[in-house]
Amino acid sequence: MNTAAATEGLLRELAPQALGAVVRRYGHFADAEDAVQEALVAAATSWPADGQPERPLAWLVKVASRRMADQYRTDEARRRREDLAASWSVSPPAPVAAGDDTLVLMFLCCHPSLTPASAIPLTLRAVGGLTTREIAAAFLVPEATMAQRVSRAKATLKTAAEPFRLPAPAERGPRLRSVLHVLYLLFNEGYATSSGPDLARPDLSGEAIRLARAVHAALADDDPEVAGLLALMLLTDARRPARTGPGGELVPLAEQDRTRWDRALIAEGVALITGALGQGRMGEYQAQAAIAALHDQAADHASTGWREIEALYARLEAMIANPMVTLNRAVATAMAHGPAAGLALLDGLDARLGGHHRLHAVRAHLLELAGDPAGAAAGYRAAAAGATNVRERDYLTTQAARLRGAT
């Protein structure tokens, strides 16, 4: 690993610790977050050239504190701000558990007043240590647009005047659900990127796993869904090495080389979901993790426990009534009872999914299984026209061409 890459990895690890230290001492989340971001940029520029300081976390806290002091000196209330800044010490505060600050920051960034579209970028910046430019690139929006989104999120938190602490136990349940939801969306965007030239963003899915591990280490006893979400991530990410071919092309689940799956992650994920389900309080993440475990433990695609998967999707559908769950259930139903049964479940989904390309793709797949190559080819063409991820679009186009040549 080169020096710049090593520095980037270290800064992402230290970012929440530095921000936690600055906010814990001085308050003012929005100002502290800006100051820490400037310190991270300064470190990324100077450390590879000048060498890493002996105490990198203390360096970041010191630079961020000076940035905050400079900011207050230029404010309209200059004299009062200068007096306040002069009272600050730029020496690092007493050490606290890094995991504790990371957890507090996640709960803070997932404030109920924020939408996922605002909470995810803010969490990536404050907890993941990503720059606004990196986040904008991940979501394929201009940097200025992402900066405005993050700024609005911070302004909302400033209005909420949230103290830098974990919510009280009575308030933690709903907030924990928000944290888990943000991590779930973050992982999904990393594992199956919605748009762009690459099928996945391992940096995003890896960051989601890291944060989920932190939540699990601290709050696993609060809700079995914490273990369920971490298990789901691990069991899904275990298949990532086999999900792309040599040129980055999409390899569907049925065609993946299962010897390339990460067995250590599968074992860890299975142990987590087994323990969570044993508590008798199945939630949506546990149900999805149980489905992933059945896939990962099957010797091949055909011998997968499709009836069990179908039953789990039916249970999940009753929990959250999400049309994408119905779409996945249709595939499991087709594998368990034949393509006609799966196609029947797709009736009515057009209105709920608005012609989503994955609905076209699933219908095409089931039509092919049912012996209708012309209908399947048309479905794959419609799916390719709606796909925004280049790799996924290429795969769907290839499938349409293959079937067109067979008719």
273 falls within a domain? no
226 falls within a domain? no
Domain that holds residue 11: 1-94
328 falls within a domain? yes
306 falls within a domain? yes
pLDDT value for 73: 66
133 falls within a domain? no
Residue 160 or residue 249, greater confidence: 249
At residue 140, does pLDDT exceed 80? no
Q: Taking Cα atoms as reference points, which of 344, 338, 402 lies closest to residue 370? A: 338
Query: Structural domain tally of the chain?
Result: 2
pLDDT value for 171: 79
Amino acid, single-letter form, for residue 267: A
| 295-305 pLDDT per residue, tens | 999 999 999 99
pLDDT value for 2: 64
Whether the Cβ atoms of residue 207 and residue 221 lie closer than 8 Å to each other: no
Whether the Cβ atoms of residue 327 and residue 304 lie closer than 8 Å to each other: no
At residue 156, does pLDDT exceed 60? yes
| 19-32 pLDDT per residue, tens | 988 888 877 788 88
Region 232-237: mean pLDDT is: 98
Show which of 94, 126, 158 is a domain's final residue: 94
Q: What is the CA radius of gyration of the chain?
A: 24
pLDDT value for 326: 96
Counting other chains too, the contacts that 211-215 makes at CB distance below 8 Å and 24 or more residues apart are 211/102, 211/106, 211/123, 211/127, 211/128, 211/183, 211/186, 212/183, 212/187, 214/99, 214/102, 214/103, 214/106, 215/103, 215/106, 215/176, 215/179, 215/180, 215/183
Show which of 94, 125, 158 is a domain's final residue: 94
Q: CA 334 to CA 353: how far, in whole Å?
A: 20
Q: What is the pTM of this model?
A: 0.81
Q: What are phi and psi for residue 53, nearest 5 degrees?
A: -65, 160
50 falls within a domain? yes
DSSP state of 166: P
Q: What is the CATH number of the domain that holds 384?
A: 1.25.40.10
pLDDT value for 194: 81
Residue 254 or residue 93, greater confidence: 254
Q: Could you give the dihedral angle defined by the CA atoms of residues 272, 273, 275 and 279, in that order, rounded to the nearest 10 degrees?
A: 140
3 falls within a domain? yes
pLDDT value for 406: 64
Q: How far is CA 75 from CA 39, 63, 69, 71, 268, in A?
A: 20, 19, 10, 7, 52
User: What pairs with residue 389 in β-bridges?
Assistant: 196
Q: Taking Cα atoms as reference points, which of 364, 363, 369 lies closest to residue 399? A: 364
Tokens of 239: 């298949």
Show which of 63, 94, 125 is a domain's final residue: 94
290 falls within a domain? no
How does residue 95 score in pLDDT terms, banded at 50, 70 and 90? Answer: very low
Lowest mean pLDDT among 4-18, 221-235, 237-251: 4-18
